[in-house]
Amino acid sequence: MRATIDKCTIELQQGDITEQHVDAIVNAANSRLAGGGGVDGAIHRRGGPEIMAETRRKYPHGCPTGSAVISGAGNLPAKYVIHAVGPVWQGGGAGEAELLAGAFRRSLELAVEHDCRSVAFPAISAGAYGYPLDQAAAVALRTVIDFLRANGRPEIVRFVLFDARAYGAFAAALEQVTSENPIDRP
């Protein structure tokens, strides 16, 4: 499924983000940038030790929740990995939505600063961090659409969803967001 925002495209795809041939893939990292399970584990496993060596050197204090940092991509087909730190879900009253939006916004800013034309995101916070998938999808898509409207870049933002449940949640959220806020949906 896809939607166009001005000259930019948002795409939804089911798959493994480590296989994406895009300028940057986004990691759902933790604030210590210490690696872990889920998408983070897959990225470091397939990308090799270079990625963590670089983040340790450049970001020894880690990255605050709601923000992101960037590194090379080691053995992965992408050029960069953007390590975004989403919030742990605590019931919704602890600023989770703003923190999740911040992680997406900062990732997009870093992508633009590094001339990335295509960026792939996973469903940040919606795995081990427990963010309800439908709400995570709505925040993710609204934040990306607002950013593309304001900045006109990156050209392609792709959400790579690991399973059919995540894909379905993002597809429903994209329908919802685009019907509230009409944009082209070829």
Look up 40 and say whether it is catalytic: yes
Q: How many whole angstroms separate alpha carbon 178 and alpha carbon 92?
A: 24
Tell me which of 6, 23, 40, 134 is the catalytic residue: 40
**What Å distances lie between residue 8 and 38, 42, 95, 121, 167, CA to CA?**
29, 28, 29, 15, 20
> Which residues are near ligand ADP by CB under 6 A?
16-18, 28, 38-40, 42, 86, 122-129, 160, 162, 166
Contact 34, 172 (CB under 8 A): no
CB 27, min distance to ligand ADP, A:
8
Q: Which among 120, 118, 112, 116 is positioned nearest to 39, based on CA atoms?
A: 120
Considering the complex, state which of residue 126 and residue 173 has its C-beta at the smaller distance from ligand ADP: 126
Considering the complex, state which of residue 34 and residue 150 has its C-beta at the smaller distance from ligand ADP: 34
What tokens does 1 get? 């499924």
Considering the complex, state which of residue 46 and residue 117 has its C-beta at the smaller distance from ligand ADP: 46
CB 39, min distance to ligand ADP, A:
4
